[in-house]
Amino acid sequence: MANYEVKTEVSGSVWKIVTEVGQKIEPGETLMIIESMKMEIPVICEQGGAVQKFLVEETMPVNEGQTVAVLSK
């Protein structure tokens, strides 16, 4: 089973995680929402798979390009 990392495209803080570990998601679905400059930016899964783990928690700061979750195909 191949794993891949999901990265955020913006800096900000994790506002809400909308998926759970073990949940299977489809390409284009939202994993979590980042708050950046008073805007809510979704972190979109480009490939489908099952959420293996999150590397961040709600309210944590994140940087652009940071890995926030690991999914398996």
Distance CA 14, CA 20 (A): 15
pTM of the model: 0.90
Is the domain 3-72 a CATH 1.10.150.20 member?
Answer: no
Residue 2: the pLDDT is 87
Backbone conformation region of residue 28, classed left if phi is above 0, alpha if psi is from -120 to 50, else beta? left
Q: What is the pLDDT of residue 73?
A: 85
Domain spans, the chain:
3-72
pLDDT tens for each residue of the chain, 73 residues long: 689 999 999 999 999 999 999 999 999 999 999 999 999 999 999 888 999 999 999 999 999 999 999 999 8
